[in-house]
Structure 1
Amino acid sequence: MKKKYVVVTGGVLSGIGKGILSASIARVMKECGVEVNTLKIDPYLNIDAGTMNPNQHGEVFVTEDGYEADLDLGHYERFLGKDMRRENNMTAGQIFKTIIDKEREGSFLGATVQMVPHVTEEIKGRIRRIPGELIMIEIGGTVGDIEGEIFLEAIRELWVEEGSENFLFVHVTYVPYLRVTSEFKTKPTQQSVQLLRRIGIQPQMIAVRSEEPVEENELRKIALFGGVEREMVFNLPDSKNVYDVPSIVYSYGIHRKIATRLNLEIEERFEWDYPRNFIPSKIAIVGKYLGTDDAYKSISESICLCGASKPDVLDSQIFEDMTQEQIKNTLAEYEGLIIPGGFGKRGIEGKIAVIRYARENNVPIMGICLGMQLMVIEYARNVAGLVGANSTEFDPATPYPVIDIMEEQKKILKLGGTMRLGAQETPIKEGTLLMEAYRTSLVHERHRHRYEVNYEDFRDLFNEPGEDLSGRMVISSKATFVEAIELPDKDFFLGIQYHPEFGSKVGRPSPLFRLFVEKIRGRKRD
């Protein structure tokens, strides 16, 4: 049986929830017994999202196989409960690089290499290789973007070649409400559908995004001018909880309409275990990327998937000129703190000052990647007395390089895709917070780092679990390098070199985040 495709395009403007809708439809179809896989197409020229600034593009999501992806793959993982891989993301940079490499190798047998057919054939070939019964394809950006045109052309060709009975096009658009005239405006939606039709693609379903519910006559107008049946136009107003969207998709019967269109056999069932009521909590992410709400998306969602309210994001730079007393007053309302990963010197001393506050006042704190490294630096300076201890990333001349670049990284000049990336085995030691969280001796967690603890030169800073602590940090996990550290005399003082937030799924949040939230709630009960 031929594969079936649901292609999701966007109109009017970006950032209106194509990824959430795609992930929601995929989850509902999976619940109905369909083997679903996903593909996010990003028309930008980057090979991947690894070198992008989180302030502009949101977080970089790392897959199990070490691919640095757009944050939408994080939505797919959390919603589908399925690990994404590099095959689930395609960028223009990947496609063009492959074409140029083939041309240099002489693979085109002297032909003039052109956008059509050579680039489109490469795109189609990659799509066809994705395993699954139903492939959800989300095309990033909006219809009309220059960089996205070649992907739309490739999809149009694939639709012709594979048969229209195997395709369903969903167009996600935005209908603004004009308060001056007290009416919804559908003209931008009409125009975006017209743009799509000029390319040769007629959407069969239109998802109308809006701040408030759109009135029936506007939906009928969209159906009429969009060339679709009224029952194939759905309004999706803003939701307070994005995890409500799969239930909304199911309630609209979108799964049945897709199954009918694509001649798919489905089972009428839907189980969706997600937190509906969030227990009030005050958790802060002390970070440095505040240009977008998506910079720490997976961390924020991991907290929410544990049933806790969304954490605040605080600028680490504001703490750099504060005394410890001022920091204490500023953070007094917060029950837990998270120091996330990142790159560069900006805001680092503010994070270190916050770590000191948490350590001295026994405030639950989790350091992730760079956050763990800063925990070691703070401890080396203020407990072990190593004045000027630092990472060579921030101070190459530090007298105490407790954090140093990985040995195999020292000869690498390129930045893209060269870090320690993806999942690797992490041994867990008895008597540690990690064992309390995971309850197993071996886990696989995802990494994304270039620097790590300089254990060989500063092993006296640390101790093994169960030994006489002697006021030292405990290594709670160590493979070929230090994976995690903790202070056992604190309620929760844990640093991990890897990124547990990338493993959180709906109904299965990361064990470390679950334990972090449980410890905070336990302190409230006490």
Structure 2
Amino acid sequence: MNPTRIALVGDRSPAVRAHEQIPRIASAYDDVDLHWLPTGQLVPDDAITFDGLWVVPGSPYADEERVVDVVRIAREAGTPLLGTCGGYQHMVLEYARDVVGIAAHHAESHGAGEGAPASTALITELACSLKGHSGQIDVVPGTRAAAVLGEQSFERFHCSFGLTAEDAAPLVEAGLLISGTSPEGEPRVAELPGEAFWLGTAFQPELADAQPHAVIDAFVTAARERAGRRIAEVAAALR
């Protein structure tokens, strides 16, 4: 068993290109073990047993509520947390519900006629779909995203839903940092300040030509550091 254990939270499918890419990307790291966690079988408290959680693309998930729960537990425990595309959307959703106190939902999962009023939709269908598109991201200096991506990046997307600048406003007031935007100012990267790695990207770094993508590499580095602390704590307890 390799020392760094990373959980992939999502419903694996051969139809999702990112899912096919992730094991290939991870093969560059000889100290990492990947563990796929289907959302319908998630045990949220297991989040703290891993050195990092990567909430992967492929929403709507089979069990949205368990995904949100595992994201909350990981955030509160300081477990390195990466969300890409749908994963980013659900990290934002968890923050809105559990930190800001908004009864927010994802319009893709709770459409019209399912009992969720439009006023609570936080993740909504984009006016211009980004599915299959590439685009520029302007990064806020001094942020974790800037340390990873630089001041500007050009990334690949595959989503039709997202967080708008207007809907992000109360989350930003509560402490969420929108550290990357489109040239028009729409959110593309979100993070939380502090030492714990908490980063969500609307784009899919899994689809980049050059791998491992800088975002993935930064996440794996954070997971390695947590693994090192965990191993040291176990060794100390055995002395």
Q: TM-score range by the shorter chain?
A: 0.7 to 0.9
1:407 and 2:127 equivalent? yes
* 8 Å CA contact retained: 2:10, 2:61: no
Match of 2:59 among 319, 338, 343: 343
1:281–1:424 CA distance, 2 compared to 1 (3 A): same
Residue number in structure 2 paired with 1:364:
80
**1:432 counterpart residue number:** 143
Q: Residues 47 and 53 of structure 2 are in contact (CA less than 8 Å); yes or no, is this contact kept in structure 1?
A: no
Could you tell me which amino acid in structure 2 is paired with residue 393 of structure 1?
E
Q: Deviations over 1:22-46 (max 9, x none)?
A: xxxxxxxxxxxxxxxxxxxxxxxxx
Alignment check: 8 A CA contact 2:14 2:20 kept: no
Compared CA separation, residues 433 and 295, structure 1 to 2 (3 A): closer
How far, CA to CA, are the matches of 1:395 and 1:421 in structure 2?
A: 24
Instruction: Give the whole-Å Cα distance in 1 for the aligned partners of 2:108 and 2:160.
Output: 9
Report how far residue 286 of structure 1 moved: 0.8
1:510 paired to 2:213: yes
Residues 287 and 401 of structure 1, relative CA distance in 2, 3 Å threshold: same
Shift of 1:447: 0.4
Aligned ranges 1:244-393 → 2 under 5 Å: 280-289=3-12, 296-319=19-42, 327-328=44-45, 330-387=46-103, 389-393=104-108
Contact kept? 1:420, 1:447, Cα under 8 Å: yes
Residues 408 and 512 (structure 1), Cα distance of their counterparts in 2 relative to 1, 3 Å cut: closer
The AA in structure 1 aligned to 2:143 is: T
Q: Which residue in the other structure is 2:198 paired with?
A: 493
CA distance in 1 between partners of 2:139 and 2:148 (Å): 10
1:366–1:391: structure 2 CA closer, same or farther, 3 Å change rule?
A: same
Write the distance in 1 (CA, Å) between the matches of 2:171 and 2:48: 29
Match of 1:460 in 2: 170
Q: Which residue of 2 aligns with 1:445?
A: 155
Q: Distance in 2 between matches of 1:336 and 1:345?
A: 20
1:433 alignment partner AA = R
State the TM-score, normalized to the length of structure 1: 0.39
Identity percentage over the alignment?
Answer: 25
Question: Unaligned regions of 5+ residues in structure 1, if any?
Answer: 1-277, 410-418, 464-470
Contact 1:306–1:514 (CA under 8 A) maintained in structure 2? no
User: Within 1, Cα distance between the matches of 2:208 and 2:167?
Assistant: 32
Q: Contact 2:18–2:204 (CA<8 Å) still a contact in 1?
A: no
Secondary structure at the aligned position of 1:421 is classed as coil
State the TM-score, normalizing by the size of structure 2: 0.83
Instruction: State the Cα deviation string for residues 147-205 of structure 1 (Å, max 9, x = none).
Output: xxxxxxxxxxxxxxxxxxxxxxxxxxxxxxxxxxxxxxxxxxxxxxxxxxxxxxxxxxx
Q: Secondary structure at the match of 1:462?
A: helix
Structure 2 SS opposite 1:366: strand
Instruction: Write out the 4+ residue segments of structure 1 that deviate beyond 6 Å after TM superposition.
Output: 291-295
Q: Whole-Å Cα distance in 1 between the matches of residues 106 and 16 of structure 2?
A: 28
Structure 2, unaligned stretches of length 5 or more? 230-239
Compute the displacement of 1:433 (Å): 1.5
Checking the alignment, whether the CA contact within 8 Å between 1:352 and 1:374 is kept in structure 2 is yes
Q: Which amino acid in structure 2 is aligned with residue 386 of structure 1?
A: I
Deviation of residue 515 (structure 1)? 0.9
Equivalent in 176, 181, 187 of residue 473 of structure 1: 176
Tell me, yes or no, if the aligned pair for 1:282 and 1:336 is still in contact at 8 Å.
yes
Deviation at 1:519, TM superposition (A): 1.4
Could you report, residue by residue, the CA deviation over 1:350-383 in whole angstroms, capped at 9, with x for unpaired residues? 2111101111111001000011110111111111
Query: What is the aligned length?
Result: 222
Which residue does the alignment assign to 1:522? Answer: 225
**Distance of aligned partners of 1:345 and 1:287 in 2 relative to their CA distance in 1, 3 Å threshold:** closer
For the Cα contact (< 8 Å) 1:302–1:504, is it kept in 2?
no
Q: Aligned to 1:448, what secondary structure does the other structure show? A: coil
| Residues 485 and 295 of structure 1, relative CA distance in 2, 3 Å threshold | closer
